[in-house]
Chain A
């Protein structure tokens, strides 16, 4: 992990500035985006090297183009995507959230659903690219408005296993190490910058 095998072009970076404890929102026109412990922190890109800056930019643009506000939080005490997403849904004024792990795995959740249920799940992180993140944002916003959007088309690649399964396990273990037990979710602001390398 210490020697990069590829030289990426300069790309945008993002850091998350903590604002304070995450609160329950009252605006019915918001989607809460919940980021995992290592997102835009210990890690800077997804399993297939999509920069977290790009992930957030697309997701927030997808939400905002529907006239809905995106509010960001970081969940610190778990790396379980269902838990992260459900915590966020319960804090969301609309009851809708998007939860994300550092490697890219994403879920749209709703506060009245069971924790292990969801509105849409995108389990195959290697297949998620910028346009998909934008569509996920857009769909989450449409749910927030009480609409019933067509689910984002899911992709499937049976050869994702030999290429990515072990790396996914490794990333999951690292994300686990970034868990801070007993620390509640915090409201964060995305600070975008011009990065030097990926």
Chain B
């Protein structure tokens, strides 16, 4: 039995049209009725709290109808660390409609909005965004996104955890435009080799791309501290105390972990999303968006620079209830309107319907977010070890065409085949050299050739997995760091790649990547909310796709030349 088997016929005679509709991909998706009492509702629930706040002696003593004595630890953390006490009473006294209008009014600057939103309670934030339809949410996002220049993030994984594949696909992904690349594993013990491959491949494709490896928290931190990875984002937080406790965590333990990354100058963000609490049966009767707003404020209170949200791995839950994608768009907006970097989802298999998959991304792609996808699969979805993304390699040309159609920057571009082959080959060669230098299991020339022309993990020779796992273990035991990788690259003739990696590593000394929404340009200039603040103030302002970048995005695989219509340009 496969989960995607078509529904069984009813046995009654159906019209031919019904048969066609029944066969449409969208009818393989699951939809459910709301159940607000249990929190199975997107954002409109009578069971959510009514906004309120009261401050005494510089301390919040009442929050959304609860007195401090009745606070759970989420309330306590948010009241103590997230909400600006000085402005709380005044900001919450503003009519919600006025705050909602400020969000969409180009005449009100982003900073003026932040001066208000930093004092809002979770229920008040919900009250504000509930007034907004999806177009207004997008208009708000266009202005409130922290970084002026939008970007995108890719997943680079392998169903066989094959490091050569990850290196080659990372190089291609970096070349196509991903500012961040993320990997994870099927067999966790493979992590050190795959994380090294991701880092090396990324720096071949385009110097300055940031990489991370999603693992259990201790190993993820260790790889970051060693400089084998450059950022971290799989630090999950939840909107109810009961779900937090279920994961043996508290807001304070997560904040402590965030501090560990910051202490080494490593970029990090938290992860949360609508639907996770109800999925785990502990929504405490609150709507998905209300609980997500608590997560967002908790992240703010912990002092992290950003958040990956947009339901993420629970997208099947808001995706199945009425208004679910409006709530998902709203949660991205809320992250941006409290001045967090927002890596905005679109990163998990969402629908059988290509039309629905595309529509799902519009509220992020059209206004632009800090990372439109927090994981576009830059490998075929069958190789995606994050359980599949909303977009994969087969969608590259569609994505590029949509960018060109609407003149919007979704972070990617069309790249010519010869450039791609060159980057893939070089990445595989560089990794071959690094493995040889570090006395890791050898990479053969056949594997390099396979990597150059491959699509999926099936196109590579089998690795000796046991040897690889021993090699992976030795990377950890020998204390290999990012600097060892730089030395290995330098001594084996990959000077430019060594330079790229060294320059990425140096960022942790300057700490520039700790700024909100930081990425590195190809010239290794950190681009963040500090030096590239979103200055949208209406038509003709803010980020515009123009100049050299627009010329790049006009290119597609097949465009007929206007000079000589018998040929194609590109």
Contact = CB atoms under 8 A, between A and B. Distances in A.
Interface residues of A, number: 28
A46 to B, nearest CB: 10
Interface string A145-174: 000000000001111111111111110110
A196 interface: no
Interface of B: 1-4, 7-8, 10-11, 28-32, 35, 38, 40, 275, 278-279, 281, 313-317, 319-321, 348-352, 381, 384, 387-388
Nearest to B348: A161
A7 B349 CA distance: 30
What 7 A-B pairs are tightest by C-beta distance, nearest first? A165-B316, A158-B388, A166-B320, A126-B3, A161-B316, A160-B3, A129-B1
Nearest to A47: B3
B316 A157 contact: no
Contacts of B381: 158
Contacts of A168: 279
A158 B349 contact: yes
A158 B7 CA distance: 18
Given A127-B3, A159-B352, A160-B3, A165 B320 contact: yes
Select the residue from A6, A50, A160 with max chain B CB neighbours within 10 A.
A160
Given A7-B10, A158-B388, A159-B388, A165 B30 contact: yes
Interface in A69-108: 79
Given A166-B31, A166-B321, 17 more contacts: A5-B7, A50-B1, A124-B3, A157-B2, A158-B384, A158-B388, A159-B4, A162-B316, A162-B351, A162-B352, A165-B279, A165-B314, A165-B316, A167-B30, A167-B32, A169-B40, A169-B275
28 contacts: A6-B7, A7-B11, A79-B281, A127-B2, A129-B1, A156-B387, A157-B2, A158-B387, A159-B28, A161-B313, A161-B316, A161-B387, A162-B349, A162-B350, A162-B351, A163-B4, A163-B28, A165-B279, A165-B314, A165-B315, A165-B316, A165-B319, A166-B32, A166-B40, A166-B321, A167-B32, A173-B40, A173-B281
A169 B288 CA distance: 13
A48 interface: yes
B325 to A, nearest CB: 13
* Chain B interface helix/strand/loop/mixed: loop
Nearest to B12: A7
Interface string A116-139: 000000001011010000000000
A43 interface: no
Nearest to B314: A165
Nearest to A127: B3
B278 A173 contact: yes
A173 B384 CA distance: 30
Contacts of A79: 281
Given A166-B319, A167-B32, A169-B40, A159 B3 contact: yes
Nearest to A50: B1
A167 B29 CA distance: 11
A6 B5 CA distance: 14
Contacts of A48: 1, 3
B28 A162 contact: yes
Select the residue from A6, A79, A158 with max chain B CB neighbours within 10 A.
A158
Contacts of A173: 35, 38, 40, 278, 281
B558 to A, nearest CB: 30
Contact of B10 (A5, A164, A165): A5
A7 B12 CA distance: 10
A166 B388 contact: no
B315 A161 contact: yes
Interface in A4-44: 5-7
Contact of B316 (A6, A124, A156, A164): A164
Contact of A164 (B3, B281, B350): B3
Interface string A171-188: 011001000000000000
Nearest to A163: B30
B239 to A, nearest CB: 15
B30 A172 contact: no
A173 B280 CA distance: 9
